[in-house]
Structure 1
Amino acid sequence: MKDTKPIQVRYEGEVATILLDRPDRANTITLQLTIDFNDALDELERDPNIACILIMGAGEKHFCGGADLREIENMMTEEGVTGDPRRDFIRHIEEVSKPVICVINGAAMGGGCEIALACDFRIMSEDAKIGLPEIRFGALPGAGGTQRLPRIVGLAKAKEMILLGNPLSADEALSAGLVTAIVPREKLLEAARDLASKLADKAPFALAAGKRLMNEALSIPLDEGLTLERRVIRDMASDEEREEFRARSAAKSSVYAGIFSATKAKSN
Protein backbone atom coordinates (compact mmCIF):
# COMPACT_ATOMS: atom_id res chain seq x y z
CA MET A 1 0.00 0.00 0.00
CA LYS A 2 1.38 3.38 -1.00
CA ASP A 3 2.42 5.79 1.75
CA THR A 4 0.03 8.71 1.41
CA LYS A 5 1.97 11.23 3.47
CA PRO A 6 2.21 14.50 1.51
CA ILE A 7 5.92 14.90 2.27
CA GLN A 8 8.85 12.58 2.83
CA VAL A 9 12.04 13.44 4.70
CA ARG A 10 15.23 11.75 3.52
CA TYR A 11 18.64 11.84 5.15
CA GLU A 12 22.07 11.65 3.56
CA GLY A 13 24.92 12.50 5.93
CA GLU A 14 24.60 16.09 7.07
CA VAL A 15 21.95 16.89 4.44
CA ALA A 16 18.19 16.30 4.74
CA THR A 17 15.74 16.49 1.85
CA ILE A 18 12.09 17.44 2.29
CA LEU A 19 10.31 15.87 -0.67
CA LEU A 20 6.89 17.23 -1.67
CA ASP A 21 5.31 13.88 -2.46
CA ARG A 22 2.03 14.42 -4.31
CA PRO A 23 3.16 13.89 -7.93
CA ASP A 24 -0.35 12.90 -9.05
CA ARG A 25 -1.54 16.37 -7.94
CA ALA A 26 1.48 18.36 -9.17
CA ASN A 27 2.86 18.32 -5.59
CA THR A 28 0.26 20.94 -4.69
CA ILE A 29 -0.10 22.29 -1.17
CA THR A 30 -2.74 20.98 1.21
CA LEU A 31 -3.39 21.79 4.83
CA GLN A 32 -1.90 18.46 5.88
CA LEU A 33 1.21 19.15 3.80
CA THR A 34 1.78 22.46 5.59
CA ILE A 35 1.37 20.81 9.00
CA ASP A 36 3.78 17.99 8.13
CA PHE A 37 6.19 20.48 6.56
CA ASN A 38 6.28 22.59 9.71
CA ASP A 39 6.83 19.50 11.84
CA ALA A 40 9.69 18.39 9.58
CA LEU A 41 11.37 21.80 9.77
CA ASP A 42 11.11 21.79 13.56
CA GLU A 43 12.67 18.33 13.73
CA LEU A 44 15.50 19.25 11.35
CA GLU A 45 16.14 22.48 13.26
CA ARG A 46 16.67 20.47 16.43
CA ASP A 47 18.83 17.79 14.82
CA PRO A 48 22.52 18.64 15.46
CA ASN A 49 23.59 16.21 12.73
CA ILE A 50 21.82 18.13 9.96
CA ALA A 51 23.68 21.09 8.48
CA CYS A 52 21.65 21.85 5.37
CA ILE A 53 18.13 21.23 4.04
CA LEU A 54 17.01 20.59 0.46
CA ILE A 55 13.42 21.01 -0.74
CA MET A 56 12.39 19.10 -3.87
CA GLY A 57 9.27 17.85 -5.65
CA ALA A 58 8.51 14.22 -6.44
CA GLY A 59 8.36 13.18 -10.09
CA GLU A 60 9.78 14.97 -13.10
CA LYS A 61 7.11 17.42 -14.21
CA HIS A 62 6.44 19.55 -11.13
CA PHE A 63 8.33 21.04 -8.24
CA CYS A 64 5.07 22.41 -6.85
CA GLY A 65 1.98 23.68 -8.63
CA GLY A 66 0.84 25.92 -5.77
CA ALA A 67 -2.17 25.41 -3.53
CA ASP A 68 -4.53 22.48 -4.11
CA LEU A 69 -7.67 24.34 -5.16
CA ARG A 70 -9.83 21.69 -3.50
CA GLU A 71 -8.45 22.83 -0.13
CA ILE A 72 -7.85 26.53 -0.67
CA GLU A 73 -10.63 27.58 1.74
CA ASN A 74 -9.10 25.42 4.49
CA MET A 75 -5.83 27.30 4.14
CA MET A 76 -7.16 30.84 4.11
CA THR A 77 -6.77 33.04 7.18
CA GLU A 78 -7.11 36.78 7.73
CA GLU A 79 -3.39 36.98 6.99
CA GLY A 80 -3.69 35.20 3.62
CA VAL A 81 -2.84 31.71 2.43
CA THR A 82 -0.69 30.35 5.23
CA GLY A 83 -1.80 26.74 5.49
CA ASP A 84 -1.05 25.38 8.95
CA PRO A 85 -3.05 27.58 11.34
CA ARG A 86 -0.24 27.26 13.87
CA ARG A 87 2.38 28.75 11.61
CA ASP A 88 3.02 30.05 8.08
CA PHE A 89 5.13 27.21 6.68
CA ILE A 90 6.75 29.38 4.01
CA ARG A 91 7.82 31.95 6.59
CA HIS A 92 9.11 29.03 8.64
CA ILE A 93 11.59 28.22 5.83
CA GLU A 94 13.15 31.67 6.28
CA GLU A 95 13.23 31.33 10.05
CA VAL A 96 15.05 27.97 10.15
CA SER A 97 18.63 28.68 11.19
CA LYS A 98 20.10 26.19 8.72
CA PRO A 99 20.57 27.03 5.03
CA VAL A 100 17.79 25.80 2.75
CA ILE A 101 18.31 24.98 -0.93
CA CYS A 102 15.33 24.79 -3.27
CA VAL A 103 15.87 22.13 -5.94
CA ILE A 104 13.50 23.24 -8.72
CA ASN A 105 13.16 20.04 -10.68
CA GLY A 106 9.96 20.99 -12.50
CA ALA A 107 7.32 23.69 -12.78
CA ALA A 108 7.27 25.97 -9.73
CA MET A 109 4.06 27.91 -10.01
CA GLY A 110 2.16 30.08 -7.54
CA GLY A 111 2.81 28.70 -4.06
CA GLY A 112 5.62 26.60 -5.51
CA CYS A 113 7.39 29.77 -6.60
CA GLU A 114 6.69 31.28 -3.17
CA ILE A 115 8.32 28.30 -1.45
CA ALA A 116 11.36 28.85 -3.65
CA LEU A 117 11.48 32.56 -2.83
CA ALA A 118 11.74 31.80 0.89
CA CYS A 119 14.75 29.51 0.42
CA ASP A 120 18.34 30.71 0.72
CA PHE A 121 19.44 29.21 -2.60
CA ARG A 122 17.56 28.12 -5.70
CA ILE A 123 18.99 25.65 -8.21
CA MET A 124 16.86 25.01 -11.28
CA SER A 125 16.65 22.35 -13.98
CA GLU A 126 17.27 23.73 -17.47
CA ASP A 127 13.83 22.59 -18.63
CA ALA A 128 11.81 23.91 -15.66
CA LYS A 129 9.68 27.04 -15.42
CA ILE A 130 8.87 29.32 -12.49
CA GLY A 131 6.22 31.97 -12.05
CA LEU A 132 3.32 33.58 -10.24
CA PRO A 133 0.35 33.25 -12.64
CA GLU A 134 -2.43 34.10 -10.16
CA ILE A 135 -3.46 37.34 -11.90
CA ARG A 136 -4.64 35.29 -14.86
CA PHE A 137 -7.39 33.98 -12.61
CA GLY A 138 -8.25 37.33 -11.02
CA ALA A 139 -6.12 36.68 -7.95
CA LEU A 140 -2.69 37.62 -6.60
CA PRO A 141 0.09 35.67 -4.85
CA GLY A 142 -1.08 35.24 -1.26
CA ALA A 143 1.88 33.61 0.47
CA GLY A 144 4.53 36.30 0.25
CA GLY A 145 5.14 36.54 -3.49
CA THR A 146 4.39 40.25 -3.76
CA GLN A 147 6.82 40.98 -0.91
CA ARG A 148 9.71 38.57 -1.47
CA LEU A 149 9.97 38.70 -5.26
CA PRO A 150 10.79 42.46 -5.49
CA ARG A 151 13.49 41.98 -2.84
CA ILE A 152 15.14 39.31 -4.99
CA VAL A 153 14.71 40.45 -8.60
CA GLY A 154 13.92 44.16 -8.19
CA LEU A 155 10.64 46.01 -8.46
CA ALA A 156 10.43 46.26 -12.26
CA LYS A 157 10.98 42.55 -12.89
CA ALA A 158 8.64 41.62 -10.06
CA LYS A 159 5.86 43.76 -11.56
CA GLU A 160 6.43 42.13 -14.92
CA MET A 161 6.14 38.66 -13.44
CA ILE A 162 3.18 39.30 -11.14
CA LEU A 163 1.08 41.75 -13.17
CA LEU A 164 1.48 39.85 -16.45
CA GLY A 165 1.51 36.41 -14.85
CA ASN A 166 3.98 35.01 -17.37
CA PRO A 167 6.33 32.28 -16.11
CA LEU A 168 10.08 32.46 -16.64
CA SER A 169 12.23 29.84 -18.30
CA ALA A 170 15.33 28.67 -16.47
CA ASP A 171 17.54 30.98 -18.56
CA GLU A 172 15.25 33.95 -17.84
CA ALA A 173 15.17 33.12 -14.13
CA LEU A 174 18.97 33.00 -13.99
CA SER A 175 19.26 36.29 -15.89
CA ALA A 176 16.81 37.92 -13.46
CA GLY A 177 18.82 36.74 -10.46
CA LEU A 178 15.91 34.59 -9.29
CA VAL A 179 17.94 31.38 -9.20
CA THR A 180 21.53 30.66 -8.17
CA ALA A 181 22.28 28.24 -11.01
CA ILE A 182 20.65 26.22 -13.77
CA VAL A 183 21.90 22.75 -14.64
CA PRO A 184 20.82 19.82 -16.81
CA ARG A 185 18.08 17.76 -15.17
CA GLU A 186 20.33 14.73 -14.76
CA LYS A 187 22.87 16.80 -12.81
CA LEU A 188 20.41 18.80 -10.70
CA LEU A 189 20.52 16.76 -7.51
CA GLU A 190 24.29 16.38 -7.77
CA ALA A 191 24.68 20.16 -8.02
CA ALA A 192 22.38 20.72 -5.04
CA ARG A 193 24.25 18.19 -2.92
CA ASP A 194 27.58 19.74 -3.89
CA LEU A 195 26.36 23.15 -2.72
CA ALA A 196 24.95 21.59 0.45
CA SER A 197 28.30 19.92 1.13
CA LYS A 198 30.11 23.25 0.85
CA LEU A 199 27.65 24.85 3.27
CA ALA A 200 27.97 21.94 5.69
CA ASP A 201 31.70 22.66 5.98
CA LYS A 202 30.98 26.11 7.41
CA ALA A 203 30.47 26.94 11.08
CA PRO A 204 26.78 26.35 11.87
CA PHE A 205 26.64 29.32 14.23
CA ALA A 206 28.02 31.61 11.52
CA LEU A 207 25.57 30.27 8.94
CA ALA A 208 22.64 30.84 11.30
CA ALA A 209 23.79 34.34 12.23
CA GLY A 210 24.51 35.32 8.64
CA LYS A 211 21.12 34.07 7.45
CA ARG A 212 19.33 35.99 10.19
CA LEU A 213 21.21 39.23 9.56
CA MET A 214 20.70 39.19 5.80
CA ASN A 215 17.02 38.28 6.08
CA GLU A 216 16.49 41.29 8.33
CA ALA A 217 18.71 43.67 6.35
CA LEU A 218 16.02 44.94 3.99
CA SER A 219 13.38 45.52 6.65
CA ILE A 220 15.30 47.67 9.14
CA PRO A 221 17.20 50.99 8.86
CA LEU A 222 20.93 50.77 8.16
CA ASP A 223 22.05 52.11 11.55
CA GLU A 224 19.82 49.59 13.31
CA GLY A 225 21.17 46.84 11.09
CA LEU A 226 24.78 47.75 11.83
CA THR A 227 24.09 47.67 15.55
CA LEU A 228 22.38 44.30 15.19
CA GLU A 229 25.27 42.97 13.11
CA ARG A 230 27.85 43.83 15.79
CA ARG A 231 25.75 42.31 18.55
CA VAL A 232 24.85 39.11 16.70
CA ILE A 233 28.41 38.43 15.54
CA ARG A 234 29.74 39.05 19.04
CA ASP A 235 27.23 36.69 20.66
CA MET A 236 26.69 34.09 17.94
CA ALA A 237 28.82 31.37 19.55
CA SER A 238 30.39 30.40 22.84
CA ASP A 239 34.14 29.92 23.19
CA GLU A 240 33.49 26.18 23.34
CA GLU A 241 31.53 26.21 20.07
CA ARG A 242 34.23 28.21 18.31
CA GLU A 243 36.94 25.85 19.57
CA GLU A 244 34.92 22.79 18.58
CA PHE A 245 34.52 24.14 15.05
CA ARG A 246 38.24 24.97 14.77
CA ALA A 247 39.10 21.44 15.90
CA ARG A 248 36.66 19.92 13.42
CA SER A 249 38.06 22.03 10.59
CA ALA A 250 41.62 21.06 11.50
CA ALA A 251 40.65 17.39 11.53
CA LYS A 252 39.04 17.65 8.10
CA SER A 253 42.09 19.47 6.75
CA SER A 254 44.32 16.66 8.01
CA VAL A 255 42.15 14.05 6.32
CA TYR A 256 42.14 15.97 3.04
CA ALA A 257 45.91 16.47 3.25
CA GLY A 258 46.39 12.73 3.81
CA ILE A 259 44.22 11.88 0.81
CA PHE A 260 46.07 14.40 -1.34
CA SER A 261 49.47 13.04 -0.30
CA ALA A 262 48.42 9.45 -0.93
CA THR A 263 47.00 10.33 -4.34
CA LYS A 264 50.15 12.26 -5.28
CA ALA A 265 52.42 9.42 -4.17
CA LYS A 266 50.35 6.90 -6.15
CA SER A 267 50.55 9.03 -9.30
CA ASN A 268 54.33 9.20 -8.98
Structure 2
Amino acid sequence: MDTGYALVNVKIAGNVGEITLNNPSKHHALSTALIDDLCAALEEMLLAQVRAVVLRAPAGARVFSSGHDVRELPTNGRDPMTYDDPIRRVIRMVELYPAPVIAMVEGTVWGGACELVMSCDIIVAGDDSTFAVTPAKLGMPYNISGVQNFLNAGGMPLCKEMLFTAQPICVQRLVAQGIVSHAVPRSELESLTRTIADQIAKNSPLVISLLKEELRLLSASHNLRPETFERVQAMRRQVYDSEDYQEGIRAFFEKRTPQFQGR
Protein backbone atom coordinates (compact mmCIF):
# COMPACT_ATOMS: atom_id res chain seq x y z
CA MET A 1 0.00 0.00 0.00
CA ASP A 2 1.37 3.39 -1.04
CA THR A 3 -0.02 6.69 0.20
CA GLY A 4 1.34 10.20 0.07
CA TYR A 5 1.29 13.51 1.86
CA ALA A 6 2.54 16.81 0.47
CA LEU A 7 6.07 16.48 1.86
CA VAL A 8 6.49 12.78 2.72
CA ASN A 9 5.61 9.56 0.95
CA VAL A 10 4.37 6.47 2.77
CA LYS A 11 4.69 2.85 1.75
CA ILE A 12 3.54 -0.16 3.77
CA ALA A 13 4.57 -3.66 2.72
CA GLY A 14 3.62 -6.47 5.09
CA ASN A 15 4.61 -5.49 8.61
CA VAL A 16 7.17 -2.88 7.54
CA GLY A 17 6.40 0.76 6.86
CA GLU A 18 8.57 3.23 4.95
CA ILE A 19 8.43 7.03 5.21
CA THR A 20 10.35 8.99 2.57
CA LEU A 21 11.04 12.71 3.02
CA ASN A 22 9.88 14.49 -0.12
CA ASN A 23 10.89 18.14 -0.37
CA PRO A 24 14.08 18.06 -2.46
CA SER A 25 13.90 21.73 -3.44
CA LYS A 26 14.44 22.60 0.26
CA HIS A 27 16.81 19.67 0.89
CA HIS A 28 14.10 18.03 3.02
CA ALA A 29 14.41 20.79 5.64
CA LEU A 30 12.48 20.12 8.84
CA SER A 31 9.82 22.76 8.29
CA THR A 32 6.61 22.78 10.29
CA ALA A 33 4.73 21.47 7.25
CA LEU A 34 7.14 18.58 6.67
CA ILE A 35 7.14 17.62 10.35
CA ASP A 36 3.32 17.73 10.41
CA ASP A 37 3.29 15.29 7.48
CA LEU A 38 5.93 13.12 9.13
CA CYS A 39 3.92 12.91 12.35
CA ALA A 40 0.76 12.10 10.38
CA ALA A 41 2.63 9.34 8.54
CA LEU A 42 3.80 7.86 11.86
CA GLU A 43 0.19 7.93 13.09
CA GLU A 44 -0.82 6.07 9.93
CA MET A 45 1.87 3.47 10.63
CA LEU A 46 0.55 3.13 14.18
CA LEU A 47 -2.98 2.45 12.96
CA ALA A 48 -1.63 -0.08 10.46
CA GLN A 49 0.24 -1.81 13.32
CA VAL A 50 3.49 -2.08 11.40
CA ARG A 51 6.31 -3.70 13.36
CA ALA A 52 9.19 -1.62 11.99
CA VAL A 53 9.39 1.79 10.32
CA VAL A 54 12.10 2.94 7.91
CA LEU A 55 12.74 6.69 7.69
CA ARG A 56 14.63 7.74 4.58
CA ALA A 57 15.28 10.32 1.90
CA PRO A 58 14.69 9.58 -1.80
CA ALA A 59 17.10 7.11 -3.40
CA GLY A 60 20.35 8.77 -4.42
CA ALA A 61 19.80 11.88 -2.27
CA ARG A 62 22.81 14.15 -1.78
CA VAL A 63 21.21 15.59 1.37
CA PHE A 64 19.20 13.43 3.76
CA SER A 65 17.93 16.57 5.48
CA SER A 66 19.32 20.07 5.96
CA GLY A 67 17.84 20.25 9.47
CA HIS A 68 15.77 23.14 10.82
CA ASP A 69 14.16 25.32 8.18
CA VAL A 70 16.08 28.49 8.99
CA ARG A 71 13.36 30.56 7.32
CA GLU A 72 11.06 29.57 10.17
CA LEU A 73 13.43 30.53 12.98
CA PRO A 74 12.11 33.56 14.88
CA THR A 75 13.95 36.87 14.75
CA ASN A 76 12.14 38.32 17.77
CA GLY A 77 13.98 36.38 20.47
CA ARG A 78 11.31 33.67 20.83
CA ASP A 79 12.74 30.25 21.65
CA PRO A 80 11.95 27.86 18.75
CA MET A 81 13.05 24.77 20.70
CA THR A 82 10.43 24.55 23.43
CA TYR A 83 8.41 21.48 24.37
CA ASP A 84 5.62 22.06 21.84
CA ASP A 85 7.70 23.11 18.86
CA PRO A 86 7.63 20.84 15.79
CA ILE A 87 11.08 19.25 15.97
CA ARG A 88 10.68 18.40 19.65
CA ARG A 89 7.27 16.91 18.85
CA VAL A 90 8.52 14.61 16.10
CA ILE A 91 11.58 13.50 18.10
CA ARG A 92 9.34 12.59 21.05
CA MET A 93 7.06 10.72 18.68
CA VAL A 94 9.96 8.68 17.28
CA GLU A 95 11.29 7.97 20.78
CA LEU A 96 7.86 6.93 22.11
CA TYR A 97 6.76 5.09 18.98
CA PRO A 98 6.06 1.49 20.07
CA ALA A 99 7.93 -0.13 17.16
CA PRO A 100 11.57 0.36 16.15
CA VAL A 101 12.28 3.23 13.75
CA ILE A 102 15.24 2.66 11.43
CA ALA A 103 16.96 5.65 9.83
CA MET A 104 18.27 4.80 6.37
CA VAL A 105 20.66 7.65 5.62
CA GLU A 106 21.94 8.71 2.23
CA GLY A 107 23.93 11.90 1.83
CA THR A 108 24.63 14.62 4.36
CA VAL A 109 22.71 15.23 7.59
CA TRP A 110 22.64 18.71 9.10
CA GLY A 111 21.64 20.38 12.35
CA GLY A 112 18.40 19.22 13.93
CA ALA A 113 18.16 16.38 11.42
CA CYS A 114 21.15 14.80 13.20
CA GLU A 115 19.11 14.67 16.39
CA LEU A 116 16.13 13.25 14.51
CA VAL A 117 18.29 10.50 13.00
CA MET A 118 19.98 9.79 16.33
CA SER A 119 16.59 9.51 18.02
CA CYS A 120 15.85 6.55 15.75
CA ASP A 121 16.50 3.09 17.15
CA ILE A 122 18.87 1.87 14.44
CA ILE A 123 20.86 3.89 11.88
CA VAL A 124 22.04 2.37 8.61
CA ALA A 125 23.98 4.81 6.42
CA GLY A 126 25.80 5.04 3.14
CA ASP A 127 29.55 4.92 3.60
CA ASP A 128 29.88 8.43 2.13
CA SER A 129 27.43 10.04 4.56
CA THR A 130 28.43 12.87 6.89
CA PHE A 131 26.77 14.40 9.95
CA ALA A 132 27.11 18.02 11.09
CA VAL A 133 25.53 19.60 14.17
CA THR A 134 25.44 23.28 13.26
CA PRO A 135 23.62 25.47 15.85
CA ALA A 136 26.89 27.21 16.83
CA LYS A 137 27.38 28.23 13.20
CA LEU A 138 23.97 29.93 13.23
CA GLY A 139 24.34 31.42 16.68
CA MET A 140 21.35 29.33 17.81
CA PRO A 141 21.34 27.93 21.37
CA TYR A 142 20.33 24.30 21.20
CA ASN A 143 18.04 23.23 24.04
CA ILE A 144 19.12 21.01 26.91
CA SER A 145 17.04 17.97 25.97
CA GLY A 146 18.52 18.04 22.48
CA VAL A 147 22.07 18.28 23.83
CA GLN A 148 21.32 15.40 26.19
CA ASN A 149 20.13 13.34 23.22
CA PHE A 150 23.44 13.98 21.44
CA LEU A 151 25.34 13.15 24.61
CA ASN A 152 23.44 9.91 25.14
CA ALA A 153 24.04 8.93 21.53
CA GLY A 154 27.69 9.82 21.14
CA GLY A 155 29.44 10.33 24.46
CA MET A 156 31.10 13.49 25.73
CA PRO A 157 34.24 13.83 23.52
CA LEU A 158 32.46 13.38 20.17
CA CYS A 159 29.47 15.40 21.36
CA LYS A 160 31.73 18.34 22.23
CA GLU A 161 33.62 18.17 18.95
CA MET A 162 30.44 18.08 16.86
CA LEU A 163 28.73 20.88 18.81
CA PHE A 164 31.78 23.13 19.14
CA THR A 165 33.20 22.83 15.60
CA ALA A 166 29.88 22.52 13.68
CA GLN A 167 31.90 20.61 11.05
CA PRO A 168 30.83 17.44 9.20
CA ILE A 169 31.87 14.15 10.79
CA CYS A 170 32.35 11.12 8.54
CA VAL A 171 30.05 8.19 9.15
CA GLN A 172 32.94 5.84 9.89
CA ARG A 173 33.68 7.74 13.12
CA LEU A 174 30.05 7.40 14.13
CA VAL A 175 30.19 3.66 13.51
CA ALA A 176 33.31 3.45 15.68
CA GLN A 177 31.42 5.31 18.46
CA GLY A 178 28.45 2.96 18.21
CA ILE A 179 26.05 5.67 17.01
CA VAL A 180 25.55 4.29 13.51
CA SER A 181 25.01 0.53 13.26
CA HIS A 182 26.21 0.03 9.68
CA ALA A 183 27.95 2.09 7.00
CA VAL A 184 27.78 0.35 3.62
CA PRO A 185 28.04 1.29 -0.06
CA ARG A 186 24.87 2.95 -1.28
CA SER A 187 24.20 0.00 -3.57
CA GLU A 188 23.77 -2.20 -0.47
CA LEU A 189 21.85 0.27 1.69
CA GLU A 190 18.25 -0.62 0.84
CA SER A 191 18.88 -4.37 0.94
CA LEU A 192 20.55 -4.28 4.37
CA THR A 193 17.94 -1.92 5.83
CA ARG A 194 15.10 -4.10 4.58
CA THR A 195 16.78 -7.22 5.98
CA ILE A 196 17.03 -5.64 9.44
CA ALA A 197 13.42 -4.40 9.28
CA ASP A 198 12.17 -7.84 8.22
CA GLN A 199 14.13 -9.52 11.03
CA ILE A 200 12.52 -7.17 13.57
CA ALA A 201 9.05 -7.69 12.09
CA LYS A 202 9.31 -11.47 12.62
CA ASN A 203 9.77 -11.06 16.37
CA SER A 204 7.17 -10.52 19.08
CA PRO A 205 5.86 -6.93 18.70
CA LEU A 206 4.86 -6.86 22.39
CA VAL A 207 8.36 -7.81 23.51
CA ILE A 208 9.98 -5.37 21.06
CA SER A 209 7.75 -2.54 22.29
CA LEU A 210 8.58 -3.36 25.92
CA LEU A 211 12.31 -3.55 25.20
CA LYS A 212 12.25 -0.19 23.39
CA GLU A 213 10.51 1.47 26.33
CA GLU A 214 12.84 -0.13 28.88
CA LEU A 215 15.88 1.06 26.92
CA ARG A 216 14.43 4.56 26.61
CA LEU A 217 13.78 4.81 30.34
CA LEU A 218 17.22 3.47 31.24
CA SER A 219 19.00 5.89 28.90
CA ALA A 220 17.05 8.85 30.31
CA SER A 221 17.58 8.07 33.99
CA HIS A 222 19.74 11.15 34.71
CA ASN A 223 18.05 13.82 36.80
CA LEU A 224 18.77 17.54 36.77
CA ARG A 225 18.05 19.68 39.79
CA PRO A 226 15.30 22.26 39.03
CA GLU A 227 17.66 25.18 39.67
CA THR A 228 20.20 23.72 37.20
CA PHE A 229 17.55 23.44 34.51
CA GLU A 230 16.36 27.01 35.15
CA ARG A 231 19.92 28.35 35.00
CA VAL A 232 20.50 26.72 31.61
CA GLN A 233 17.17 28.07 30.33
CA ALA A 234 18.19 31.58 31.42
CA MET A 235 21.48 31.23 29.54
CA ARG A 236 19.60 30.15 26.42
CA ARG A 237 17.28 33.15 26.69
CA GLN A 238 20.30 35.47 26.77
CA VAL A 239 21.50 33.97 23.49
CA TYR A 240 18.12 34.39 21.81
CA ASP A 241 18.10 38.04 22.89
CA SER A 242 21.65 38.63 21.62
CA GLU A 243 23.01 40.49 18.60
CA ASP A 244 24.88 37.32 17.63
CA TYR A 245 21.63 35.40 17.15
CA GLN A 246 20.32 38.08 14.78
CA GLU A 247 23.68 38.10 12.96
CA GLY A 248 23.59 34.34 12.48
CA ILE A 249 20.14 34.49 10.88
CA ARG A 250 21.08 37.48 8.68
CA ALA A 251 24.27 35.79 7.50
CA PHE A 252 22.38 32.65 6.49
CA PHE A 253 20.01 34.58 4.24
CA GLU A 254 22.81 36.77 2.87
CA LYS A 255 24.88 33.64 2.14
CA ARG A 256 27.96 34.85 3.99
CA THR A 257 30.02 33.83 7.03
CA PRO A 258 28.57 35.33 10.22
CA GLN A 259 30.70 37.80 12.16
CA PHE A 260 29.93 36.94 15.77
CA GLN A 261 30.90 39.55 18.38
CA GLY A 262 30.04 37.65 21.55
CA ARG A 263 27.23 40.00 22.55
1:44 paired with 2:45, answer yes
How far is 1:166 from its partner? 1.8
- What is the CA-CA distance between 1:80 and the residue it aligns to? 6.3
User: What is the identity, as a one-letter code, of the residue corresponding to 1:179?
Assistant: V
Choose 55-64 or 207-216, whichever is displaced more: 55-64
CA shift in 2, pair 1:143/1:39, >3 Å: farther
- How many correspondences in the alignment? 216
**Deviation digits for residues 22-63 of structure 1, max 9, x if unmatched?**
112111111111111111112211223x11000001252011
Matches within 5 A, 1:25-40: 25-40=26-41
Say whether the 8 Å CA contact 1:105–1:124 is kept in structure 2.
yes
Partner residue, 1:57: 57
Equivalent residues in 2 for 1:109-128, closer than 5 Å: 109-128=110-129
Larger radius of gyration: 1
The reply to whether residue 83 of structure 1 matches residue 86 of structure 2 is: yes
Structure 1 segment 179-258 matched on structure 2, within 5 A: 179-220=180-221
**1:88, distance to aligned residue in structure 2 (A):** 0.6
Say whether the 8 Å CA contact 1:110–1:141 is kept in structure 2.
no
Report deviation, 1:195.
0.5
Task: Report % sequence identity.
Answer: 24
Deviations 1:76-102 (A, max 9, x none): 546168327xx7111110010000000
Partners of 2:206 and 2:5 in 1: how far apart? 36
**Deviating runs (4+, > 6 A) in structure 1?**
none
Corresponding position: 1:22 with 2:23: yes
- Report the alpha carbon displacement of residue 12 of structure 1 after superposing the two structures with TM: 2.1
Q: Report which structure shows greater RCO (CA 8 Å, sep ≥6).
A: 2
TM-score, length-scaled by structure 2:
0.76
**TM value normalised by structure 1:** 0.74
Offset, 1:72:
2.6
> After superposition, where does 1:42-191 map in structure 2 within 5 Å?
42-48=43-49, 50-58=50-58, 59-73=60-74, 77=80, 79=82, 82-83=85-86, 88-142=89-143, 144-191=145-192
Unaligned runs of 5+ in 1: 222-268
Q: Deviations over 1:76-135 (max 9, x none)?
A: 546168327xx7111110010000000111111112111111100001101111120221
Q: Is the 8 A contact 1:131 1:167 kept in 2?
A: yes
